[in-house]
Amino acid sequence: MKELSAIKYEVRKSRFFAHLYLIESEDDVAAINGIQREMYKKAAHHCYAARYPSGNSGSTAFGNDGEVGRPGRVLLDILIQKNLGSHCLAVSRVFGGIKLGPAGVSRAFRDAGNAAVEHYLESGSVSGDSS
């Protein structure tokens, strides 16, 4: 696994940390989830989406980690739209005290995920900040 992009995105005091990784297997996704949980211990939710390399069982996966609005599916849609196979998009949310509602949560995760992907596609570098 290799981290390709990392950004921070803020919406109504909540902070979203989005990371895009190149992956080789389902084991990489489990490792990424562990890394996200370790890096962002204050995060209430760690959502992800993955498109596995061809030949692996279950070519896609996503997880919402109890968050409303199905953000994992929203992140998977980004990977599909950008045609990013063998990638994992992981976003951790540190709650800022203001509820966003299901639509607002989906929008915020989508925007954070898109920012990480666009950062990678435009610059190919590994760090960024989008507030």
Domain boundaries, the chain: 2-123
User: Tokens 């297997």 label which residue?
Assistant: 25
Q: What is the pLDDT of residues 88-113, one digit of tens each?
A: 999 999 998 888 888 998 999 999 99
What does the pLDDT read at residue 79? 93
Tokens found for residue 23: 């992956």
Q: Which fold has domain 2-123?
A: Ribosomal Protein S5; domain 2 (3.30.230)
* Average pLDDT value for residue range 25-42: 92
Cβ count within 10 A of residue 86:
17
